[in-house]
Structure 1
Amino acid sequence: MAATGILAGRTALITGAGSGIGKAICSVFAREGAAIAAVDISKDAALQTIDNLPTRPSISHHAYCADVSVSGSVNDLILNVQTSFNTIPTIAVNSAGITRDTAMLKMSEEDFDKVMDVNLKGTFLVNQALSRAIISAGVTNASIVNISSISGKTGNRGQANYSASKAGVIGLTKTAAMELARKGIRVNAVLPGFTETPMTDVVPDKIKQMVTMLIPMGRMGKPEEIAEACLFLASDRSSYITGCALEVTGGLFA
């Protein structure tokens, strides 16, 4: 039986696939017929994601371990995915991200650098390596979605490193969109608001309640709601959209 869905016949590479938004994206994309290359710093976490994906006779999913902040690891990843699927991914979502929150005056250089390395440099390296492979393969219909954050637009107390990295992702996305449009590669960003993920699980309940009061829709977002926005940008339903920074925030800071 042939795969059905708006991503049928496509291979999608998802970083940060082991939990939270990345895991939800894998599930939604698999539902829509994509073959999933689930990537995480933890191979076990990526495997767990794969094990929970809907299965179809004509589609296989694979898990990979990679450090997106290291160019050699990213280059090896692209080659390994290409070998496993016998094709180059034409969809990618860069969801790998970390936090090291503290007030700017107390933040260590190490914590600043690590967040920038994973969130911004990692997104750059995957965009660059995959785009080179797509162009080399002669593909002319590809979509890359980079996960930024509303914090990258507004800033956020205690997140000088995270906000700076996510602002950088927006700038990177817009530049990549300009450079790659004529190559047939669309590049867009999604800016989640406060979303129920392992990152927000560690936030004290009192803080989460205060934040929720600021959200016009009166609640935090769900990973699946971010994933559905990514699905739109990954699919041909957004064929004339590139360089977009789509806010999915429940109206926060609208």
Structure 2
Amino acid sequence: MTDTTNGTPLLRTPSLAPVGPRVLLESEPDAVHTNAVRAAWERYGFQVETASTYAAAPAQPPDVYCVVSIGNETFGAGRRAPLRRGPVARVLAAMSRRGRGRAVLVTDGGPHVHGDAGPEGAADRAADHAWWQHLAKRCTARGVPANTVRVGYAPFLGHRLSPGAEEEVLRHLVTRRPTEPGELAAALRLLASQGLGNVAGETLPLDGGLDAAVVPMPSARAARTEPAAGALGGPDPFRLDGDVVLVTGASGGIGASVARECAARGAGVVLVARRRPELEKLAAELRERGGRCWVLPADLADPARAADLVGEAWERTGGIDALAYAAGAVTFDGSGDHARNRERLLALNTLSYASLCDALLTRWTVTGRKGSVAVVSSLAAVSAPVANLASYGVSKAATALFTHHFATSAARYGIRANSVLPGFVRTPMTDVTNPVFLDATNRLVPTGRMSEPDEVAALLCYLISPAASGLTGAALRVDGGGHCLAGLPPLSPRPRHGSTV
């Protein structure tokens, strides 16, 4: 693989190391979208082989299998070629037998019910994705995590609308612009990287915030067709050179991993947490590696302290470019009145985060900075895996929903916001958790393990980087497929009739 992209050095970190160089592309021969997806992989130096060539002379299974299914008539796509389920299943089975690799489905279909979409075509797309998800659960359990990239309106993939229809589509998006080639290339590189090893069954909504269901009022700002800053050309968009990132919860766990990953990508980091000794130790480590960092002890259980924190950090650094909010606590509801526990968790997990976002938005709008926000929510925001976790779950659900709304409100200023929802992550807290409980939990996870803090950090750093310029208002899970591929585990040791993976 090459060491440059567009003539600039390619960022090399352990989290971004590819699982391998060989990509097998399953797509309609000579179609516009086929050539575009090939170019997206080649942008980062992957070696692309077509499915027809592979079938003619089968070699070792690929490192990455990319299946493309484009044909949503709402976006003006041409007629979609049927997904070749037999060949796809055979390749995934071969990769599963080998026990490593990645699989990615690129599609313009999704859960939305568009007025111009034919029901039969929509049903076919939905059926293909459900089929893909079931295979994803099987091959993920055998070392081949499978995910989906869902693109929105993307002329470079062959979408064609009249000027009036295009304008109407874009007015329904938070970003008010089409998906761009560089954004797809970055998403594919991310899903083929070592750092995303415990993301499975996930859908990356590269559609400009379509899920927000924006109301297109006549006074809404006009659609844009110019490329997003940093998305095309220029330096590797995964870099954070020159940026300053405010990292909360940096004294350990996910927060400390985020700080290390930001520094590895060239950012200066403001380290925030209650425990000064741990912050100073991390700061010394980062400075020894040539990093820039500032220590700001603060107890974010007090939302008023959070509001003041932005001013202090701004004054010391000269400006903040991104917020990575990893501060938080999890405590169970006991018997009786849960009010105090609920208030504490809401203050730390939600209200202080919202205060930081409000204060940063004010600074960003005044200075014209295009800031970005990524927050650690939790799988408990969208599920109830254990009893007595209601107060925690409510606080994390509020965090994710606030981010969704903040993304829509701040988009007019070029500011993005996204959430990461981890399942169980290996931290000091899990080290003292009942092993029987952890074993039962991991049996429900297709990858069979907890996530590592570095894996959560890799996704957070992607979300605050220019590489994710087409993502805002998204909530992405890092849980080994435990939620995206939810369902009962295998109940019989024998494979089901007709099983291909």
Q: TM-score, normalised by structure 2?
A: 0.48
In the alignment, what sits opposite 2:234? none
The percent of aligned pairs where both chains have the same amino acid is 28
Cα deviation for residue 197 of structure 1 reads 1.3
SS in 2 for 1:154: coil
Larger-gyration structure (1/2)? 2
2:444 is the alignment partner of 1:214: yes
**Cα distance between partner residues in 2 of 1:165 and 1:56:** 36
Q: Which amino acid aligns with 1:96?
A: A
Contact 1:74/1:126 (<8 A) preserved: yes
Structure 1, 153-162 or 236-245: larger mean CA deviation? 153-162
SS in 1 for 2:416: strand
In the alignment, what sits opposite 1:162? 392
Cα deviation for residue 107 of structure 1 reads 5.5
In the alignment, what sits opposite 1:133? 363
Q: Which amino acid aligns with 2:302?
A: V
Instruction: Specify which structure has the bigger relative contact order, considering alpha-carbon pairs within 8 angstroms and separated by 6 or more residues.
Output: 1
Q: Over the residues paired in the alignment, what is the CA RMSD in angstroms?
A: 1.8
2:292 is the alignment partner of 1:60: yes
Matches within 5 A, 1:222-241: 222-241=452-471
**Cα distance between partner residues in 2 of 1:28 and 1:115:** 27
Contact 1:99/1:199 (<8 A) preserved: no
In the alignment, what sits opposite 1:183? 413
In the alignment, what sits opposite 2:374? 145
In the alignment, what sits opposite 1:20? 253
**CA deviations over 1:107-137 (Å, ceiling 9, x no partner):** 5321121111100112111111111111122
In the alignment, what sits opposite 2:325? 94
Matches within 5 A, 1:15-94: 15-53=248-286, 55=288, 59-86=291-318, 88-94=319-325
Cα deviation for residue 56 of structure 1 reads 5.5
**CA deviations over 1:135-189 (Å, ceiling 9, x no partner):** 12221x2110011011111123221111111111111010000000011110000
Determine which of 408, 411, 433 is the counterpart of 1:203: 433
Contact 2:269/2:294 (<8 A) preserved: yes
**CA deviations over 1:228-252 (Å, ceiling 9, x no partner):** 0001101000001100001111001
* Structure 1 runs (4+) greater than 4 angstroms displaced: 54-57
Aligned residues: 248
In the alignment, what sits opposite 2:68? none
Contact 2:403/2:473 (<8 A) preserved: yes
SS in 1 for 2:476: strand
**Cα distance between partner residues in 2 of 1:72 and 1:123:** 11
SS in 2 for 1:52: helix
Q: As a proportion of its length, which structure holds more helix?
A: 1
**CA deviations over 1:59-88 (Å, ceiling 9, x no partner):** 5211111122434322332122112212x2
SS in 2 for 1:162: helix
**Cα distance between partner residues in 2 of 1:56 and 1:99:** 32
SS in 2 for 1:190: strand
In the alignment, what sits opposite 1:7? 240
